[in-house]
Structures are given as structure tokens and as C-alpha cells.
Structure 1
Amino acid sequence: MKSTLHSFIFIISVILFSNQIKAQTTGKSIKASIGYGASSSYYNEDYGSQDEVDVMGGGLYLHGEYILGIKSWFSIRPYAGAIFESVDKDQNVQNQPQYKVTTNAFLVGGKIRLCAPIPWVAPFIEAGLGASAGKFETFTPNVNFNKSDVLLHIPFNFGLALGRKNSFEIGFSGYFHPAAKQSTGVFAVGYSFPLD
């Protein structure tokens, strides 16, 4: 009972005094991230015994953001990045084509972040809209998309901002490309450099 009461008082204190807590710094910053990305088709129609074929591509992910910190819990983030993926060419599947899903593209766009006003460990969530310019391949039993083009993507991210000023980050990102019927999942680490 006492621990529940203490937890309740702590949560109420955080809510009431959130103006005094700086979870993420306000002002302008630049964030650089590096990570690993993997793409797969989200077209999930059952295709029999071939659903055991691994068609994911994976590779290097680079990302940079210009951060406009409006409040300690809200920021606007124009971004640019790149993802370079390939697939294992040694698929051990007889009498079947080489299925694959890859993204090799540059990414630009904008997103907003909502961040819990908690120092040292602050969970966040982000969403936005962007464009990807590059080569997209989605070759599965049900999809055959192979184009070099500029495509709309929808980013969705969540993670933790760490440190006294929440300068370090670990997070998971998703980039959905509806035209190519594929999505890219990313695990990345990042660091923010204040400009003010």
C-alpha cells in the first residue's frame, strides 16, 4: 500500500511540476544517428509453403536531424538520412527465384516528437511524413516492384532519450513505403549536439 501511494505521489509531482523539469532541451540542436535497418514486405497474403522463404534485406542506416525544441516535451524535427541494404545471395531454396526486399535510398522529411518530461531516461514517440529517393525492390511470391523513383514514406519512431540533458538516444524506427509494399525497421543510436 505504501509503495502504491509513493508511486501515485511521484506521478502527480511529475505532472504538476513538469514545467520545472527539462526532459529534452529547448532551443536548436543537431542529432546524428547510426544503426542497422532491415526491410520486408508487409503484403501478407498467404502463399503456401513459400512463406518460409527469407526475403528480408538489411544494411547500414545513417540519419541526421535539425531539432527545434519548442517545449521540453515537444519538438519539430526536419531530417535527412540514407539506408543501404542488400540480401544474402546464398539462399538455399531449390527451383525458386531469388526473392528479396531491399531499400537503397536517401530519406528527407519532417516529424514531431512527444517526449515524457523526465530527466535521465525519457521515453519518446515520433511521427511525420517524408520522401525517399532511390532504388526499391520488393520481389516476393505476390509482389514484383522494382523501381528507381521518389516515393512517399511514413516514419514512426519510439525510444529512450538518455542522460541529464537527454543527449544520447536509443530507438526503433519504421519507414513505411506504401507504393513499394514494403517497410523498413531500424535500430539506431544517436547523439544530439546543442547549437545554442
Structure 2
Amino acid sequence: MITAIREVRRAKGMTLDDVARACVPPTTAQTIGRLETGTRTVSVAWLNRIAAALGVQAADLVTLPDRVEIAVAALLDPSGAHAPRQPATIVPPSAAPEHVAVSVQAGVGEYRAGDQIWCARIAPDRFASALNRDVLVPRPAGRFLFGRLIGREGPEPAGGGGKLHLLPLGPGSRQQVVADPAWIATAVTLVRSL
């Protein structure tokens, strides 16, 4: 199997050691290197383990013939744009089953008209991980609230999400409280055309 482990790792700015330490359970940099180069066979279990360490889907690590990759032409930092020292590619984002999207119709907060915000749905037991992040929260009658999660009370004894305190993004907006939503979705990817 041909993998893109090295390309994805480099695109994420991680070293072999970073990936090895992020694996559960941790492994060695040498093992990750052997899996990258193909000197050690990559099993499905290893693929899933490395994907989790890199924060991508396992499918992102498999090179498919029809897969589009984008060549990195330059690296940008405060001193300007520079050519990369080694060839690199970027793996385009791919949707996962837990993803939902928000299509921005008019500028609000730091978002512009035409932006697409990809959000990952999370269950009530993980709501605390979304504190200080932009989230989409379902409300009754097919309505939603999108804003910064600034506080959480609970969880409720029945296992609900408790009360969530959100600050909508518009100027002069007041804090809103939503009780026990079934799920929320954390903003994870911004797709913006220039």
C-alpha cells in the first residue's frame, strides 16, 4: 500500500518524534520512519493509530490514483515568502460523517460573505472541549445559534449537556443561554475564496 504519511506529517509541521509521541500508545520515531518509507508494512491498525496522532482521517494517509494533492510552492512567515527546502504537498480537506457546514451569507464577526465554516458535531460529554471556540448549537423548531461558547453549567445529572452560555458574533450582541442541546458542532475548518 502506498501511503502519504510523510506528506501529511510534513504538512502538519510534525517531526517523526512528534508523531511517535502522539500515538496511543506511544511508539518510536524509527517505527514511524519505517512505516513512512515502506520498509515496514502498514496495517490498518497502524494507519488508524497514525491518523489519530496526526489529527486526520485514515483515508487521508492512503495515496489513491485520483486523489488531488496541492504542491507547496512557498512557505510564508513574518520575513516573507520562501521556497520550501524539500518538495511538499498539502492534502485538501475532506469531509467526515460528523461534519456539518455553515454557509456565511453576510459578514459577521471575523467571517466574510461566501465563507464556508466546517463544523464537527460533538456529544454532550465533550462540550467542555469546545469552550472559547465558535460553535453551532441546534435550537427548537429548526433554528440554530452560532457563536463563541463562553461558559457551561452542568452537566445535568441525567447526562445532558447542561446550560451553555454563548456570545453571538454580531456587534452589540448579548449573551444567550441554551439548555441541554442534543449536540453542538465546533468550527474546525474555514474555507474562504479570495
More helix by share: 2
TM range (shorter): under 0.3
More strand by share: 1
TM-score (norm 1): 0.22
TM-score (norm 2): 0.22
Q: Which has the higher contact order (CA 8 A, sep 6+)?
A: 1
